[in-house]
């Protein structure tokens, strides 16, 4: 991986899951293959778009992969609650409809278990995060982990849009609810986690490795 590359550890539905298919269409891109996908005919949809990290200088991709496999061996597959489209601080996102302790445990394990691979953020990056108006707890997470929304301040979300105005919400929320209705109604099991990679900031993320949960 190049010096500007970043890695993200995310949940992604399996490629035969209707949610993966719907998500690829909504985004206009298959995150597995990187291929373009035809988007729904909605005006401005091309604008609707767990924090990634740069690897520390002495870290390697192979070591990161080995440790992620080890972490995945500690968590068993689990049922993901049904999802729904929600307003998340002005963004639209898919959120779970009930508390899911195994999901929180998986997120916490990844944050703490992989933190040694993370390059430290610059002062400019820290300042940019703080401009959002963080709580004391969020600022403590920013200092400790380089991101304010982890562990006790974390929340699962699959972002669907950029930040929207009130008028835009009136259009986009019902459209998103209709588009994802069939996919979010079905039950699903979280069976793996994915390592996504990005060659440099602003470039698309793609799935580099799916790692099965084996606990």
Q: Are 103 and 78 in contact (CB under 8 A)?
A: yes
Q: Are 27 and 209 in contact (CB under 8 A)?
A: no
* pLDDT value, residue 99: 92
Tokens encoding 88: 């998340």
Q: Are 163 and 178 in contact (CB under 8 A)?
A: no
* pLDDT value, residue 2: 67
Whole-prediction pTM value? 0.87
**One digit per residue, pLDDT tens: the chain, 215 residues?**
666 788 989 999 998 999 999 999 998 999 888 899 998 888 877 665 545 788 898 889 999 999 999 999 999 999 999 999 999 989 999 999 999 999 999 999 999 999 999 999 999 999 999 998 999 999 999 999 999 999 999 999 999 999 999 999 999 999 999 999 999 988 899 999 999 998 877 778 899 999 999 98
Tell me if residue 155 falls in helix, strand or coil: coil
Torsion of CA 10, 15, 85, 110, to 10 degrees: -10
* pLDDT value, residue 41: 86
Cα 54 to its chain centre, rounded Å, is 16
* pLDDT value, residue 50: 44
Across 30-161, where does the E strand assignment appear? 78-80, 83-88, 91-96, 158-159
């Amino acid at each position: 991986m190049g010096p500007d590359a970043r890695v993200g550890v995310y949940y992604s539905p399996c490629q035969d899951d209707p949610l993966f298919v719907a998500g690829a269409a909504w985004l206009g891109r298959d995150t597995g293959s990187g291929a373009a996908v035809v988007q729904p005919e909605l005006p401005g949809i091309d604008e609707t778009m767990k924090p990634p990290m740069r690897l520390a200088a002495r870290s390697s991709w192979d070591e990161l992969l080995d440790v992620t496999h080890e972490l995945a061996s500690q968590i068993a597959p689990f049922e993901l609650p049904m999802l729904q489209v929600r307003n998340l601080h002005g963004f639209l996102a898919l959120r779970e409809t009930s508390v899911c302790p195994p999901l929180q445990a998986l997120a916490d394990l990844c944050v703490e278990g992989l933190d040694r691979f993370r390059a430290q953020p610059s002062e400019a990056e820290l300042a940019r995060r703080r401009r959002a108006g963080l709580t004391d707890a969020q600022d403590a997470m920013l200092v400790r982990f380089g991101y304010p929304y982890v562990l006790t301040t974390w929340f699962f979300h699959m972002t669907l849009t950029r930040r929207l105005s009130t008028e835009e919400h009136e259009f986009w929320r019902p459209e998103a609810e209709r588009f994802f209705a069939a996919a979010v109604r079905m039950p699903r099991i979280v069976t793996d986690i994915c390592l996504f990679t990005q060659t440099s900031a602003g470039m698309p993320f793609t799935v580099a490795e799916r790692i099965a949960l084996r606990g």
